[in-house]
Amino acid sequence: MEVVDVIRAKRDGQRLTDGQIEYFIRSYTDGSVADYQAAALLMAIVWRGMVPDELAKWTAEMLASGVRMDLSSLSVPTVDKHSTGGVGDKVSLPLAPIVAACGAADPMLSGRGLGHTGGTLDKLEAIPGLRVELTPDEMLRILHDVGAVICAAGPGLAPADGRLYALRDVTGTVESIPLIASSIMSKKIAEGTDALVLDVKVGSGAFLPDIALARELAETMVQLGEAHGVRTSALLTNMDTPLGRTAGNGLEVTESVQALSGRGPDDLMEVTFALASEMLDLAGIDADPRSVIADGTALAKWNEMIRAQQGDPEAPLPEASERRMVVAETSGVVTKLDARGVGVAAWRLGAGRARKEDPVSPSAGVVCLKKPGEEVNEGEPVLELHADDPSRFDPAVAALESAIEIGREATEPQPMVLERIRA
């Protein structure tokens, strides 16, 4: 078989055969297919798409390029959550200990941030001493002992995706439903969990702002999960406004601990409880996630998890040396706080990265002092910007130029959970 024939087939709109998919994924993973040839096939997929059974085979081969974790030694149901990413989306941090406190095990393999959306691992690494690079044995031991772990996916899980993702990032082939779905699901299925809930963000701060595309992605991923024996559902959730009050690594850890202590913002808790309830339902566990916040067991589970990953939950988090306020230009009610604008501002302050190898600041970010529906007076602070370098403030403020709108009357609040999708 020749790779150019595979490229031609997809270029001409044909369904790739099982043999062609097996040949391409295996040959690209072992290096016998060149990057420029793989890039040509990826672009053909962007333009021509994939039919469901073709995509299922493509995902299966990506999964087969590595190992699938064996969680069968755990005595409790296993379930995980994946988010497509957003601004202030710290849900994973309180969610994993909540679910574990309710009796499930959550092996949450997470990633780092890129662009205006924050990464869960970057947030966790703001905690002194905490390790996110764990071996499979370490991860399994923490799951046995604690019931929750949040760490990086090892190189053995879907290595084909690692190579393809890096190539997509530099060839303009990221924006494709089949390629996004197979990338996410090959890694998540490789975790070996019984069930999976997908949090697909919709709105200005989301990867896919259009609800129709977000719905298509959610439906595609649910189908892929079910096809591989993983009970899967999805929630479409609102990402027009930053989630919670903070966007930035250490700032979001602090807010997550507040959430676990029963002092979380309403929007953050609404999404967190909705996802927790969905996860517990798929896992077959009858428990109320609110109860483990109220009785303190979720916070205790968080502290256990942090210590198991060699972090110190009592240690003070890094604080930025410089701060600047963004004030209201008029009095009234905040009617808009654009998630993308706030996310780009946090990124420019040092909380995010433009390239995977860039460092991030654990202390930089944005605190939302006012959010939509809240009254503000002229000259009163709306946002508080945190940075270690004062030269970062002006570019961050520029990103917020049209992010804040103030009117005379509050607009109708939007629901946080927009849709639920199951097979």
Catalytic residue IDs: 80-83, 120, 168, 183, 187-188
- Answer whether 6's CB lies under 8 Å from 20's CB: yes
Q: Are 120 and 148 in contact (CB under 8 A)?
A: no
**Torsion from C-alpha of 77, 83, 88, 92, nearest 10 degrees:** 10
In the three-class reduction of DSSP (H, G, I as helix; E, B as strand; rest coil), residue 387 is classed as: strand
> Cα–Cα distance between 136 and 200 in angstroms, integer?
27
At 163, list the tokens: 């190579």
Beta bridge partners of 383: 326, 368
Sign of CA dihedral 273, 275, 278, 284: negative
CA 8, 10, 11, 12 torsion-angle sign: positive
The answer to whether 386 and 183 are in contact (CB under 8 A) is: no
Q: Round to whole Å and give the CA distance between 109 and 66.
A: 15
With CA atoms as reference, report the closest residue to 26 among 179, 159, 185, 189.
Answer: 159
- Dihedrals φ, ψ of 124, to 5°? -60, -35
Structure tokens at 394: 């002006």
Amino acid 22 reads E
Query: Which amino acid is it at 167?
Result: L
> Which SS3 state, helix, strand or coil, does residue 355 take?
coil
Cα-to-chain-centroid distance, residue 194: 20
Answer whether 209's CB lies under 8 Å from 313's CB: no
